[in-house]
Structure 1
Amino acid sequence: MSVSVAVTGATGQMGRAVLDAADSREDVEAAFAVNRGAPDDLEAREEIAGVPVEPAREFDRLLADHNPDALVDFTGPASSQNYVAVATEAGVASVVGTTGFDDESEQALRELAEYAPVLKASNFGRGVQALLSAVESAVADLPGYDVEVTETHHNRKRDAPSGTAKTILETIENAREDASADSGQRVHGREGEAPREQGEIGVHARRAGTITGEHEILLAGNHEEVRLTHRAEDRGVFAEGALDAAVWLADREPGWYDFEQVVAGEQVAEGGGQ
């Protein structure tokens, strides 16, 4: 039996990728798709993978009419929060790939997870989960080594550093004895006289062309260096992961989930709002 998904931000790069991926799978079907700029004229509406893109203001009605199993959202922080709030009220699970949330807006999502399952991830690539595991191990095994994180994305990406880079940084900070979660330990680029301080983590964001996404972690010390890299060559990787998450999440109890649990096949969620 297939899982039906509602797709927001349908004409964006990730929205299109999600609809294309859903069209090629037997375990998922697109219930409906919306986009903020979709026209009222039915004949003028774009179709993606056979799914008409409807105006975002119709989201509430469409949700009630189609009763999907899950929402898949790649939009912006403000619109994402609104979509998830409406989906939660309807008892629909939400898979959120939107990045750029501040602490307050992410906390609002966590509070919504008390009423319906919410899974938020900065990256839906299974390879990224393997990268995070390798980073954690390498940082713990190489105490005192200098660490630099570099991420590269297409020239239209809005937030910097990327959500994935922030997750990598959190993993590094948690694994190091000589660094804390204090954002002051992170140095974003360098200019002028900028000697490296003990324990700092260099962070560099590059934006160019149509690059899908690349993250590199450099650890250097003791006359040696280790480089860990993940490179995504197609957005379909993230779309497939988001749909895997939707299938996994659809029948879960309310709570706050992450993609690591999907990859690991875990059965227990962190309590909503925690």
Structure 2
Amino acid sequence: MKTNIVVTGAKGRMGTTIAGLVKQNPELSLAGVVERQGNVEGLEQYNCMVSDNLHELLTKNENCVVIDFTSPEVSMDVAAICADTGAAAVMGTTGFSSEELEKLEKTARQVRLFWAPNMSVGINVLLRILPELINMLGDKYDLELMEIHHKFKKDAPSGTALKLAQVLAASQGLDLDEKGVFCRKGIIGERQESEIGVQTLRGGDVVGDHTVYLLGPGERIEVTHRAHSRETFAQGAIRAASWLVEQKPGKLYTMADIFA
């Protein structure tokens, strides 16, 4: 039985990529595409339901998984609509506040929700192996992180950079909110041993570059992940959607659950 997929923000960069890949996948069915009011023209090309009302679309299609890469405000609405209609949702939106994430976790107790700031397999494998690498190196290595994205990205640092930084902090028993340094300027004195630097670059059409630096005495290690195409994230989201239909509500699922 095919998995029914609904794509929100279907005219956006990620939405367009996801909808196209769903159409090519014989195990999936593109049940509908959604855009904001007044922006649905041209979506007829997908030969599926087109709407500016997600709730209405989901009430006409059962057993759907919504794939959403939009904005925190829209994604919160998507989660609430899924809770009301019984649909599931895979979200790759970044920029959520801690309060919004807490609300998503509560909503996930009653509906199947999946959220990951980065859907790529490579990044999520990196998240798993970084603590082991840091533990093996010991506490004599300073931890820094730099990310680069295209000039149209609205949030900074990226959700992926924040997740990586959280893993770096946790591996040393630190709180990123206390030890994260997101900007350096002026006479700031020596670097503190417990700092975790997170720097942001924006420009051009960079899909997403993240580099973790482990800077030790006499040497350094650089671990870099570069996304060459948005299809990397889209394929991860599609994989998550196919996995999510077999799960039950109860928690806010992440990529770590797929690899568990």
Query: 2:84 maps to what in 1?
Result: 89
CA shift digits 1:58-116 (9 cap, x unpaired): 21111111224211111110110011111121111111111100011111111111111
Query: 1:106 maps to what in 2?
Result: 101
Query: 1:169 maps to what in 2?
Result: 165
Following the alignment from structure 1 to structure 2, what is the Cα–Cα distance between the partners of residues 148 and 162? 15
Following the alignment from structure 1 to structure 2, what is the Cα–Cα distance between the partners of residues 210 and 37? 28
Query: 1:231 maps to what in 2?
Result: 226
Asked if structure 2 preserves the Cα contact closer than 8 Å seen for 1:131 and 1:229, the reply is no
Q: 1:89/1:190 Cα in 2 relative to 1: closer, same or farther (>3 Å)?
A: same
Identity of aligned residues (%): 32
Query: 1:269 maps to what in 2?
Result: none
Query: Are 2:146 and 1:150 equivalent residues in the alignment?
Result: yes
Following the alignment from structure 1 to structure 2, what is the Cα–Cα distance between the partners of residues 59 and 37? 11
Q: TM-score, normalised by structure 2?
A: 0.94
RMSD between superposed Cα atoms in Å: 1.6
State the Cα distance separating 1:139 from its structure 2 match: 1.4
Give the residue type in structure 2 aligned to 1:46.
L
Unaligned runs of 5+ in 2: none
Following the alignment from structure 2 to structure 1, what is the Cα–Cα distance between the partners of residues 237 and 20? 12
Q: TM-score, normalised by structure 1?
A: 0.89
CA shift digits 1:196-237 (9 cap, x unpaired): 111101110111111000100000112010011100000001
State the Cα distance separating 1:251 from its structure 2 match: 2.9
Q: How does 1:38-187 map to 2 (within 5 A)?
A: 38-39=38-39, 44-47=41-44, 49-51=46-48, 53-55=50-52, 58-142=53-137, 143-177=139-173, 180-187=174-181
Return 63-72 or 202-211, whichever deviates more: 63-72
- May I ask how many residue pairs the two structures share in their alignment? 257
Q: SS where residue 133 of structure 2 aligns?
A: helix
After TM superposition, what 4+ stretches of structure 1 lie above 2 angstroms from structure 2?
37-40, 44-54
Following the alignment from structure 2 to structure 1, what is the Cα–Cα distance between the partners of residues 68 and 24? 19
Following the alignment from structure 1 to structure 2, what is the Cα–Cα distance between the partners of residues 61 and 113? 21
Query: 1:32 maps to what in 2?
Result: 32
